Amino acid sequence: MTVAPLAAPSRSLVRRGGSGVDFAGGGLTLLTGFAAFLIVAMVAVIVGNIVWFGWRTVTWEFLVGSPREGMTAGGIFPAIFGTVALVVLMIVALIPIGVGAAIYLHEYARPESWFTRAVRFAVNNLAGVPSIVFGLFGLGFFIQFVGRAIDHNLGLDVVWGQPALMWAALTLALLNLPVVIVTTEEAFRTVPRDMREASLALGASRWQTVRYVLLPQAMPGILTGAILSVSRGAGEVAPILFTGAAYFLPYLPTSPTDQFMELGYHVFVMATQSPDVDATRPILYGTVLVLLLITFMLNLTAILLRARLRARLAGRG
């Protein structure tokens, strides 16, 4: 770049201001602002609609009761229970595998090796797979392959080789794996290099450095990944369609091999299969509201936890 004469910048600024650029700038502000406003408006309409039509339905009886009379009456407790159980199981499976893979990629993998590249390629592509494909994969792999192999080898009838809470949770975990790997690795990358050096220079081994220096400082980032996957896990229906969600169950799941009801799937069932649409509508609204609230609360918990961790890492509190 050449050095411009000193007077040039101010003059060009003046000229630009007077030649209609401001008008275009104003138009752009308006357009982009409108796009931004649309987002707020849509969220407001969706949430407002659900709250408006749903809040009257959400009573204590609704939360703790079971569906009755072909889902035109009663509550949704089995679906609430199933959703929470599903998400918890998913997190239990997801976080160790996701964080483990991220630790490997960040800390141990040689960046140019074919294996590292294969892993990265897989992670990136896993993120782009449609969720219904995950559902089919879960059915084919977890249930028909793994589940049946377990039954066969243990001499059982059909215990593992059928749709179940555990298989649904694992399928969801797989779906969310890329999110957790990417956010965790990103979190590792943001830990300053001198933290690593300080630890290693003190005679900490590589693993100790990961475990006691990198991991604690990456924790907020890991929680971000967990938050994202909880939101998605609680709402996704396609992956659990074939792997464990039930249309209607008169009892709660008591083991990971049981089927379960789930809020998202319950919404789908009520919206499409109800014998009496008008009777079902308030229940439908109530169910969606509860689904939103549960997701919101799970998120809120993780966000508060993350805020506390961040404060501690920043030396406050």
- Interface residues with other proteins (CB under 8 A)? 192, 194-205, 208, 212-213, 216-217, 312-316
What is the three-class DSSP state of 192? coil
- Our CB check for other proteins shows the closer of 68 and 211 to be 211
Give the pair of three-digit tokens for residue 72: 């035109």
Task: State the Cα–Cα distance between residues 119 and 105, nearest whole angstrom.
Answer: 8
Q: Please state, in angstroms and as integers, the Cα–Cα distance from residue 171 to each residue in 174, 183, 195, 263, 294, following that order.
A: 5, 20, 36, 17, 21
- Our CB check for other proteins shows the closer of 120 and 281 to be 120
Distance in Å, CB of 119 to other proteins, minimum: 19
Give the pair of three-digit tokens for residue 286: 């109530």
Q: At what angle do helices 165-190 and 114-126 cross, to 10 degrees?
A: 120
Distance in Å, CB of 190 to other proteins, minimum: 13
Task: State the Cα–Cα distance between residues 161 and 151, nearest whole angstrom.
Answer: 7
* H/E run at residue 62: helix 60-64
- Our CB check for other proteins shows the closer of 146 and 200 to be 200
Distance in Å, CB of 280 to other proteins, minimum: 53
- Our CB check for other proteins shows the closer of 157 and 194 to be 194
Task: State the Cα–Cα distance between residues 244 and 253, nearest whole angstrom.
Answer: 11
Distance in Å, CB of 214 to other proteins, minimum: 11
Strands (E), 201-298: none
- Our CB check for other proteins shows the closer of 111 and 128 to be 111
Distance in Å, CB of 202 to other proteins, minimum: 4
Distance in Å, CB of 204 to other proteins, minimum: 4
Spatial contact of 292 and 47, defined as CB atoms under 8 Å apart: yes
- Our CB check for other proteins shows the closer of 158 and 202 to be 202
Q: What is the distance in angstroms between the CA of the first residue and the CA of the last residue of the chain?
A: 49
